A and B are shown apart, each in its own frame.
Chain A
Amino acid sequence: MAVDTNLEEIHGPELRHHFETPDQQVETSTIGMWTFLVTEIMFFSGMFAAYAIFRSLYHDAFASTSKYMDVVVGAINTAVLICSSFTMVMAVRAARLGMRNMIVLFLILTMLLGLVFLGVKAYEYHHKWVEHLVPGFNFHYEEAKYERHAAIFFFLYFMMTGMHAMHMVVGEGLLATLLVMAWRGRFTAKWNTPVDMIGLYWHFVDIIWIFLFPLLYLIGQRA
């Protein structure tokens, strides 16, 4: 399409043709990202609703699952994820200050922490498989009277943490893209919207976990 070549000169390289000012572009991206995160919350909310209903319907069965949930590992993962949010914030700050090397450093740290989380998650999934706690594929529950309803708990566990892990994987991909862009020096103090936006996404994925951890790991610990 015949784009007016003068536009680039007028607008600068990072301003797309349909925006008037860089501020307008940043604000539009921001509202778009927040709106997207709202849809993400609604997406997870269906599973939270299912969890709430089955927890109240089959309370005892759900409580009985707690001895199979490794709170220590879950807590370590929570800490890892919170740290990754911190390094992400530091990357956003570095981007706003236009410090290329710092952006690269903190993006790498964030990615590493994300990978640690996913690694621990994989270890936990493996453990569940060994313990025959994967509904539909490899499930055997010691307390026979709870078997069917405990299966629902573990099903929801895999759905919720699985969806969360998928978002983490997507996040790793986004961070990798950011890393390449940062490496090439694309981000300046004037233009760093992608770092900001993907930062929002990363924090969102983090906060979903903050809700998943107590719901799935701390359930019935005192019972």
Chain B
Amino acid sequence: MSTTVERPRTQQELNYLNIDYSWKSWLLTTDHKRIAILYLVSITAMFFVGGLFATLIRLELLTPRGDLVSDDTYNKFFTMHGIIMIFFFLIPSIPAVLGNFLIPIMVGAKDLAFPRINLLSWYLYIVGAIFTLGAVVSGGVDTGWTFYPPFSSTYSNTYVMATALGVFIAGFSSILTGLNFIATIHKMRAPGMTWSRLPLFVWSNYATSLIQILGTPVLAITLLLLAAERIAHVGIFDPSIGGDPILFQHLFWFYSHPAVYIMILPGMGVISELVTAFSRKRIFGYGFVAFASIAIAVIGFLVWGHHMFVTGQSLYAGMYFSLLSFAVAVPSAIKVFNWTATMYRGSISWDTPMLYAFGFIGLFTIGGLTGLFLATLGLDVHVTDTYFVVAHFHYVMVGGMVMAYLGGLHFWWPKISGRMYPEGWAKFAALVVFAGFNLTFFPQFIVGYQGMPRRYHAYAPEFQVLNVLSSAGASILGLGYLIPLIYMLWSLKYGKRASANPWGAVGLEWTVPSPPPWDNFPQTPVVTWEAYQYHKPWQPEVEVGR
């Protein structure tokens, strides 16, 4: 027996935020929504620390001479920018904040499968961050985020071990999040929530979790071997004592290339949600988009050698990695085409999340296509270790991932906080971010192609104009990130109260009040609709089963 009932309005009164205000109720919470908030606060802090180092980099690069800081200090700047942004912002960002908050609700569960492990993963993240920030404060680290030996072994003169330990610990946080998502998505789905009805955000996070559990342990053992090598002075990676430095690069990129997909896949999931909601259309080719995520995760594990085209790996290995790197572009392109087809003849509205979605699709396409330049063996030799590479991955990571993260944060902000953000300011900020981003990174494609190498504090004078443009863009971009920080905080107190479904979007998360009650669903929902049922009327009331 199932009846459609009007949701009791009294539920509005008690939600996961106001159920308890004590510190203990936050720091010992096992509620996935509160853990998501803990992550939101911590990764935002890390984002601005990483951004500080980006600012210092761009300041130094205003002039061709190394006049602001010494070369050693500059090495530390770009290293800490990379380590903090990658391991402490990009990798946890969408899964640990939006995924943590949304996945249980999207599949109709009361919590993630292992709530205490979820809390443990946040504490591991914090401990890892403390070690890394401790290393930053004590004098920094200058190996590059890749920790390549012999920079990190024989010639290391900085706090390599503390930083590596921080990354090692944060890695387990990532593993536990992935493990939790996999168990949740397999076993915690509500009745009627079949695999083919799962929101694509859940699919993409599932693919992400696969990479997290398979890749991250390899990074952990790599860093452990590096540490043990330094202690025992036995050659594993150090060639002067019989080790093999290429082995380190293989092991490192076996994790770190798939990690690129840990960063971008959840963003793709967000975009699938945004594009459908703001075009009022079903996703075009649901199955293709869903399996493209899995395909990216699987093929993504087989392409790591394209980071090593110039390290002396065999030509045949190079050809193999080149070919597979082209192959991974296919599922990525499927997604871009399907989002575009979804928008075709859709009823598009121009709310802030959709602006970020447009930004993502355009910038990710540029980032992805320039990735193909780099996957081409001959061309890669020309642009290896130039600003072309820097521009490429920032188009994917910042133009893609950060755009998707901001879009998703705006889209679900009413659900998370119960308040609407100010739409006018948000649109303005989205445009500022887009303009600032392109001004920062497009010139880097040009200087890179002309031959400006990355990771130097000084450069040839003819590159100055483009570098000044880039630094100017970076200050605009920085402003674009500050504006949302301010109005999001402002909206917590002064924002308009959000209804349960302010966007008129389809999905279980829009059936619960904003903000949701602490156990999400008083009764387990029964799902009777396809994902993205925008083509016919959808009753937002949850049918209460049993």
Q: Which residues of A are interface residues toward B (Cβ below 8 A)?
A: 1-2, 4, 16-18, 20, 24, 27-28, 31-32, 35-36, 38-40, 42-47, 49-50, 53-54, 57-58, 135-137, 148-149, 151-152, 155-156, 159
Contacts and interface: CB of A to CB of B under 8 A. Distances in A.
B453 to A, nearest CB: 30
A17 B222 contact: no
Given A18-B111, A53-B247, A58-B242, A43 B221 contact: yes
Contacts of B187: 24, 27-28, 31
A152 to B, nearest CB: 6
Contacts of B114: 28, 32
A32 B113 contact: yes
A151 B234 contact: yes
B110 A18 contact: yes
Contact of A46 (B20, B25, B213, B222): B222
A35 B519 contact: no
A42 B217 contact: yes
B36 interface: no
B514 interface: no
A28 B109 CA distance: 13
A209 to B, nearest CB: 17
Interface stretch (B62-70, B225-233, B394-402, B427-435): B225-233
B151 interface: no
A125 to B, nearest CB: 14
B294 to A, nearest CB: 16
A86 to B, nearest CB: 28
A55 to B, nearest CB: 12
Contact of B243 (A16, A32, A40, A152): A152
A27 B184 CA distance: 11
Contacts of A43: 217-218, 220-221
Contact of B225 (A4, A28, A46): A46
B235 interface: yes
A136 B115 contact: no
26 contacts: A1-B20, A1-B518, A4-B519, A17-B110, A17-B519, A18-B104, A18-B109, A18-B110, A28-B187, A31-B183, A31-B187, A40-B217, A42-B213, A46-B218, A46-B221, A46-B251, A47-B221, A50-B236, A53-B247, A54-B244, A135-B232, A135-B234, A148-B235, A148-B242, A159-B224, A159-B228
B380 interface: no
Given A47-B221, A54-B236, A155-B236, 6 more contacts: A1-B20, A28-B114, A28-B183, A42-B214, A151-B234, A152-B235
Classify the secondary structure of B's interface with A: helix
Interface secondary structure of A, over-half rule: helix
Contact of B182 (A31, A40, A148): A31
Contacts of A32: 113-114, 179-180, 182-183
Interface of B: 19-20, 25, 29, 31, 104, 109-115, 175, 179-180, 182-184, 186-188, 213-218, 220-222, 224-225, 228-229, 231-236, 241-244, 247, 250-251, 518-519, 524
Contacts of B179: 32, 35-36, 39
A35 B231 CA distance: 32
Nearest to A44: B221
A2 B19 contact: yes
A202 to B, nearest CB: 19
A135 B235 CA distance: 10
Contact of A136 (B215, B216, B220, B234): B234
Ranked 5 nearest A-B pairs via Cβ: A136-B232, A46-B221, A43-B217, A18-B110, A18-B111
